[in-house]
Amino acid sequence: MTATQSTAAAEFARRQQSPLQRIQHVLHGYPWLSPLFILVIAFIAFTTLNPRFASPSSMGLMLQQTAVVAALAIGQTLIILTAGIDLSVGAITVLSMMVMASLAQDGGMNGFLALLIGLLLAVAAGYLNGVLVTRLNLPPFIVTLGTLSIFTAIALLYSGGSSIQADHLPGLLNSLGEGFGPRGGFRLTWGVVAVGVMYLAVGFALSQTAWGRHVYAVGDDREAARLSGVATQRVLLTVYTVAGLIYGIAAWVLIGRSGAATPNAIVDANLNSITAVVIGGTSLFGGRGRLVGTLIGALIVQSLQFGLSLGGVDQQFRVLATGVLVIIAVSVDQWIRKVKA
């Protein structure tokens, strides 16, 4: 009888909701729906303005351009889910890239060993961020703002500010830039495939493992999670460490994508990765969001840049449009968080 009464009460409450409140409840449960709607609208609008936008070759090129930002956004999502933020994402990626490329330049070191050292360095950088956040209890914003400068300086000092072209690197480091598919048609690179595999792996870990549930719990209410038995400090440390590994893999993808290793690469990595995560429906306050939304957010960021570029829009206006999207996304998130049970 009690269960029946509860169900009836819930149904009555649902019927009393306005259409806007129902939309608010749906978006609270499925935060990736709103960015998906934006992506569809953007696709239709840009295709209408320039049919070349929807051509198979353009779609393949856009996915290739999205790969690096989408990869970095995975690590950024993990950290933002814990109510943190990582401003060192681009610096770690560039440092890892320059180290693996410099070690393997002109046959100086075996490509696999150089790649492994670069990945381990990225893991160590992420671990350092985690240690500073968990052991010294420093705010993630301050920690990663500081390590942003540190890792950037180390990368510049180590590389001497010079770039290393692809023909000076072993095939392994360039392999993720190799494409497949018909010439002049829809082509992908192995870097896009690698990023897709990372999304599947991390998405599975977040949704199907105890570690993933703990990540959400820590972001939603760290003290409540601690009192319920979650090792919050350990969870945070693993999040930053795993994020470092993801940035290292992104560095490998970046070498293949750009055909070179340069310390001036991805200067807008921090802005774009955070933008992709926020537009994708992940709350900056932690505890809510899905990786599928992050992927959609990365596609929105790149489709906006790509579509406006095809339309001949000036670069400054593209940056302006991205900023407007971020503000809108955060405003929508604030509105969704006010949902009433």
Give me the phi and psi of 268, to 5 degrees please. -105, 25
Residue with tokens 């460490």: 241
End-to-end CA distance of the chain: 22
| Strand ranges (E), the chain | 164-165, 179-180, 188-189, 260-261
Per-residue pLDDT of the chain (341 residues; tens, 9 = 90+): 555 555 555 554 555 567 767 766 666 667 777 788 888 888 888 898 888 888 888 898 899 989 999 999 999 999 999 999 999 999 999 999 999 999 999 888 899 999 999 999 999 999 999 999 999 999 999 999 999 999 999 999 998 888 999 899 999 999 998 888 776 678 889 999 999 999 999 999 999 999 999 999 999 999 999 999 999 999 999 999 999 999 999 999 999 998 889 988 888 888 889 989 988 888 888 888 889 999 999 998 888 888 888 877 777 777 787 778 778 777 776 666 666 54
Contact 84, 241 (CB under 8 A): no
Q: Specify if 9 maps to a domain.
A: no
User: Of 287, 268, 285, 286, which is closest to residue 276 (Cα–Cα)?
Assistant: 268
Which residues partner with 229 through β-bridges?
none
Report the C-alpha gap between 75 and 205 in whole angstroms: 13
Neighbours of 226 (CB within 10 A): 15
Q: Is residue 167 part of a domain?
A: yes
Measured CA to CA, the distance from residue 177 to residue 149 in angstroms comes to 29
Considering the domain boundaries, does residue 149 fall inside one? yes
CATH number at residue 70: 1.10.3470
Residue 166, in any domain of the structure: yes
Structural domains in the chain (count)? 1
Which residue range is the domain that position 262 belongs to? 31-43+54-336
Q: Would the pTM count as exceeding 0.85? A: yes
**By the 8 A CB rule, do 294 and 242 touch?**
no
Residue 82's SS3 state is coil
In a domain, 3, yes or no: no
d(CA 85, CA 198): 20
25 found inside a domain: no
* Six token digits for residue 255: 């070498």
Phi, psi for residue 188 in degrees, rounded to 5: -120, 165
The verdict on residue 5 lying in a domain is no
Residue with tokens 């072209």: 165
**Cα distances (Å, whole numbers) of residue 126 to 23, 88, 130, 135, 271:** 38, 9, 6, 14, 18
Q: Quick one: tokens of 34?
A: 């709103």
165 occurs within a structural domain: yes
| Cβ atoms of 318 and 89 closer than 8 Å | no
